[in-house]
Amino acid sequence: MQSFVIQGGRPLSGTIRASGNKNGALPILAATVLASEVVELSNVPRIRDVEVMVELLVDLGADAVWTGPNKVRVDSSGISKTDLDPDLCREIRASFLLAGPLLARFGRAAVPPPGGDVIGRRRLDTHIHAFTELGVTVEVNGAYDLRAERLVGKRIYLDEASVMGTENAVMAAVLAEGETIVGHAACEPHIQDLCRFLVGLGAQIEGIGSNILRIQGVERLGGGSYRIGPEHIEVASFAVLAAVTGGDLTIEDIEPDDLIAIVPAFRKLGVEFEVGTSTLRVRPDQRLTVIDDLGGQIPKIESGIWPAFPADLTSIAVVAATQAAGTVLVFEKMFESRLFFVDKLVSMGARIILCDPHRAVVTGPASLFGQRLESPDIRAGMAMVIAALCAEGESSIGNIRQIDRGYERIDERLRALGADIVRADQ
């Protein structure tokens, strides 16, 4: 086991490039199973979750190799297995994304229960509903045994705008007979990225970026090259980090449209971003102050389906709020365990009332002090890193494999910005 040892109180400044989107890379790698020719992907984040997906492809029989620091080449023509490795599946939730492509290509998929962050109940019902609508029979006996003689397009209305559920429905439908319409579809930037990738291989998808996707099935998909879009969650994480430490930071290779719900939310805390065509700058020494709602009412930052504020950033928003003068309610609507890490921030000196599993009231600014912490999941882990970097004294954060699952070489990249952070064996 490794930990991060962090000396806080230093402004982080400089220039950093956004990594490729983790939640875009994972479904796109899964979708290479559908390709009848070689696919070359670039800007792929070299993180544990992605490495596990590559290992899953290799286990199925694909020739999947890293050809550069952030490049992967996949030839899926050799795939013959349809049973996923249980040990690898336990490592990542995204293992279930292989169900749709395997069903579309082979008419069968045997998928063990997936792993991933423990942030509350994470339903698979939406996936199963979409598959059954397309003609799949499902047996659940410790694992999910999915079979279909043929997939036939249909009008599907998802019971929730599930990101992975939408992705699995789309990947299954691109090779199904006839037309599929997916209503109440999720439309996050990484889903748009997946759809654009599939269109580049020859899929016919209309409505990209909306909550209604119209898919006309085709007989085959070809190959090609594709560049994964930037990670907007990471962009926001670094921007907040600069703001709370008083740094001057420029983030390169961003997509402004992906920040449409993020910038206004953090402006409620007084964080100002200068967004250009491909860069974002946070100027130094910002005075973070909560902007009250009309009539002096306490404002609210609440997560929701895109284009609402992303649930993956609620942990970061809580930390930012501890450094802003005023009171704000952070409302995490999606996951009932996402906010359970706030007791760690309270131990550092934060003033937070956890109202219930979904809501926390934060009053700042609070002087934070170094503490021994443990990362429960990817996003809370990064929130703890941010808190430690703006705190006084030394902090240690354990279970950092969780952070490594979502942030590429985070300690190296932060040191380049002036952070005092080292990776130590526990």
pLDDT value of residue 121: 45
d(CA 18, CA 149): 43
CA separation for the pair 202, 223 (Å, rounded): 9
Residue of 426, 365, 369 whose CA lies nearest to 8: 369
List Cα–Cα distances, 290 to 265, 269, 272, 354, 402, in angstroms: 11, 4, 12, 19, 31
Are the beta carbons of 333 and 363 closer than 8 angstroms? Answer: no
State which H helix or E strand residue 235 sits in.
helix 232-245
Per DSSP bridges, beta strands 179-183 and 155-157 are parallel
A 10 A CB-CB count for 171 gives: 29
Residue 56 contacts residue 50 (beta carbons within 8 Å): no
Q: How many CB atoms lie within 10 A of CB 58?
A: 16
Instruction: Please say whether the structural domain 2-19+230-425 has been given the CATH code 3.70.10.10.
Output: no
Query: Which of 62-71, 260-269, 399-408 shows the lowest per-residue confidence on average (mean pLDDT)?
Result: 399-408
Mean pLDDT (whole number) for 381-399: 96
Q: Picking from 108-122, 123-137, 377-391, which range would have the lowest pLDDT averaged per residue?
A: 108-122
- Is 94's pLDDT higher than 70? yes
State the maximum Cα–Cα separation within the chain, in Å, rounded to a whole number.
Answer: 64
Superfamily of the domain at 22-227: Enolpyruvate transferase domain (3.65.10.10)
Query: Could you tell me the pLDDT band of residue 122, with boundaries at 50, 70 and 90?
Result: low
Q: One of 49, 75, 117, 193 is an active-site residue; which one? A: 117
Per the annotation, the verdict on 293 as an active-site residue is no
What gap in Å lies between CA 412 and CA 369, rounded to an integer?
A: 23
Which of the 8 DSSP states describes residue 369?
A: B
The answer to whether 2-19+230-425 and 22-227 have equal CATH topology is yes
Say whether pLDDT at 116 is over 70.
no
Q: Which residue has the tokens 């928003």?
A: 317
- Segments making up each domain of the chain, as ranges: 2-19+230-425, 22-227
Tens digits of residue pLDDT in 22-47: 999 999 999 999 999 999 999 999 99
pLDDT at 352: 98
- Write phi, then psi, for 146 (nearest 5 degrees): -110, 130
Q: Which of 83-92, 226-235, 330-339 has the lowest mean pLDDT?
A: 330-339
| Residue indicated by tokens 């929701």 | 304
Residue 249 bridge partners (DSSP): 14, 282
Report the predicted TM-score, pTM, of the whole model to 2 decimal places.
Answer: 0.94
- Segment 235-253 mean pLDDT: 97
Residues 6+ apart with CB under 8 A from 140: none
